[in-house]
Amino acid sequence: MSKISLRGLRHSYLDNPANDADWALKSMDLDWRDGGAYALLGPSGCGKTTLLNIISGLVVPSEGQVLFGDQDVTKMPTDQRNIAQVFQFPVVYDTMTVYDNLAFPLRNRGFAEDDIDVRVRETAQTLDLEKTLFNRASGLTADSKQKISLGRGLIRPDVNAILFDEPLTVIDPHLKWVLRSKLKEIHRQVGSTMIYVTHDQTEALTFADKVVVIHDGTVVQIGTPIELFEKPKHTFVGHFIGSPGMNLLPCELNNGVPLFAGQVVETENGIHSPQECQNLEIGVRPEFVSLSESGIPVKVVNVSDTGPHRIVDTRHGDVRIKLLITEDESIPADNVHITFDPAHTQIYADGWLVSEASK
């Protein structure tokens, strides 16, 4: 049990990475607090799994260090790191019974048979595997097998961290929800560090205390679900998290005041130096756009009903702006105008949030 730190980490699967695109992970400095529940969120192929494999030692990074506490483990083999990892697809030792599968990690580390028996039964109970405990693992269904994989990850009491690589992909939606709450519960009980890789925002936001969003091999934001929602540091975060994602509007600058469609837009942050004036965009979530008497004129293109609220798809010129309204709010037939909530409207330069610090 210790803090896991990544220092100046870079990784490429090529021998001689020539340009930026050759790096699967680009320069990463991260600290994982001991006992934290983290989610690594990002689209497929953004480097999440690579990062996880570096922490568990299956991949040795091209550059940089991995520290467990104060110990440098960058080159230490996986079996000595004391890490548990659960993969996306079920991995069971077909030749063993369910019981032996679960007991395997403990036996390898020399636990006494009595303790093993207690742990195995406990874990089997949490994961609802008791009925098949003495069956051979090879004949089971995919989701039972994945539960065994999960169990093998959770069974050791002394791990530095438990890494989950999209562990619930093969499990049907209802059970997924149950298992996710189980994981959360186990985390509260044992308090070991958990890192959960996923590309599903609901999964990330419900599981984690802190979400690390990765895009193109770079960490774009680390924050609580609320922070990610209310204050995305990068347009990618705004777009990726939330359904529908954040509206991004091209914007011009007039004497330091952002303009969209010829109207002044009040934003929560501001532009303060001329260098920041590249590719300016205004970001505002559909939740913070509202219909009003005056403001930016738009044309309603489509309204889709999602149950609790409706998503209104509007256009101003070529720019699409989505907004959420409640069931009982009515949409005027013509002369539709919208306004943005200034407290939740941000301005982005080259994709990144224009920072508060420069104020």
Partner 1 sequence: MKRFTWAAPTFYIIFLMLPIYWLLNMSFKTTNEILGSFTLWPNEFTLENYIAIFTDPTWYNGYFNSLTYVGINTVISVTVALPAAYAFSRFRFLGDKHLFFWLLTNRMAPAAVFALPFFQFYSAVNLFDTHIAVALAHCLFNIPLAVWILEGFMSGIPKELDETAYVDGYSFPHFFVKIFIPTILAGIGVAAFFCFMFSWVELLLAKTLTSVAAKPIAAVMTRTASTSGYELGLLAAAGSLTIIPGAFVIYFVRNYIAKGFALGRV
Dist. CA 153–CA 165, nearest whole Å: 11
Residue 227 CB, nearest approach to partner 1 (Å) = 32
Of 94 and 350, CB closest to partner 1? 94
Dist. CA 127–CA 276, nearest whole Å: 52
Residues 201 and 229: beta-carbon distance below 8 Å: no
Residue 168 CB, nearest approach to partner 1 (Å) = 15
User: Site for partner 1 (CB under 8 A): how many residues?
Assistant: 23
Dist. CA 186–CA 189, nearest whole Å: 5
Dist. CA 25–CA 188, nearest whole Å: 31
Of 61 and 105, CB closest to partner 1? 105
Taking alpha carbons only, the member of 322, 316, 314 closest to residue 287 is: 322
Residues 8 and 207: beta-carbon distance below 8 Å: no
Q: Which residue of 42, 47, 57, 283 would you call a contact of partner 1, by CB under 8 A?
A: 57
Q: Does 47 bind partner 1 (CB under 8 A)?
A: no
Residue 196 CB, nearest approach to partner 1 (Å) = 16
Q: Compute the half-sphere exposure of residue 190: CA atoms within 13 Å on the CB side of its CA.
A: 22
Dist. CA 123–CA 136, nearest whole Å: 17
Residue 97 CB, nearest approach to partner 1 (Å) = 13
Residue 177 CB, nearest approach to partner 1 (Å) = 24
124 burial level (CB within 10 Å; 0-12, 13-18, 19+): buried
Dist. CA 232–CA 234, nearest whole Å: 5
For tokens 């220092």, what's the residue?
7
Residue 2 CB, nearest approach to partner 1 (Å) = 17
Over the window 145 to 164, marking each residue x when it contacts partner 1 by CB under 8 A and - when it does not, the resulting string is ----x--x------------
Residues 258 and 342: beta-carbon distance below 8 Å: no
Measuring CA to CA, how many Å separate 41 from each of 32, 234, 336? Answer: 15, 14, 37
Q: Does 134 bind partner 1 (CB under 8 A)?
A: no
Residues 161 and 35: beta-carbon distance below 8 Å: no
Of 104 and 177, CB closest to partner 1? 104
Residue range at the interface with partner 1 (CB under 8 A); choices 34-42, 49-57, 323-331, 338-346:
49-57
Residue 80 CB, nearest approach to partner 1 (Å) = 8
Q: Does 177 bind partner 1 (CB under 8 A)?
A: no
Of 22 and 266, CB closest to partner 1? 22
Q: Does 193 bind partner 1 (CB under 8 A)?
A: no
Residue 85 CB, nearest approach to partner 1 (Å) = 5
Q: Does 1 bind partner 1 (CB under 8 A)?
A: no
64-103 binders of partner 1 (CB under 8 A): 77-79, 83-85, 87-89, 91, 93-95
Residue 269 CB, nearest approach to partner 1 (Å) = 44
Calculate the CA dihedral of residues 347, 348, 352, 356 and round it to 10 degrees.
-30
Dist. CA 74–CA 67, nearest whole Å: 7
Residue range at the interface with partner 1 (CB under 8 A); choices 52-60, 127-135, 225-233, 236-244:
52-60
Q: Which residue of 56, 198, 201, 267 would you call a contact of partner 1, by CB under 8 A?
A: 56
Of 52 and 249, CB closest to partner 1? 52
Of 58 and 319, CB closest to partner 1? 58
Residue 175 CB, nearest approach to partner 1 (Å) = 21
Dist. CA 301–CA 315, nearest whole Å: 7
The distance of Cα 341 from the centroid of its chain, to the nearest Å, equals: 26
Residues 62 and 74: beta-carbon distance below 8 Å: no
Q: Which residues bind partner 1 (CB under 8 A)?
A: 53, 56-58, 77-79, 83-85, 87-89, 91, 93-95, 104-105, 108-109, 149, 152
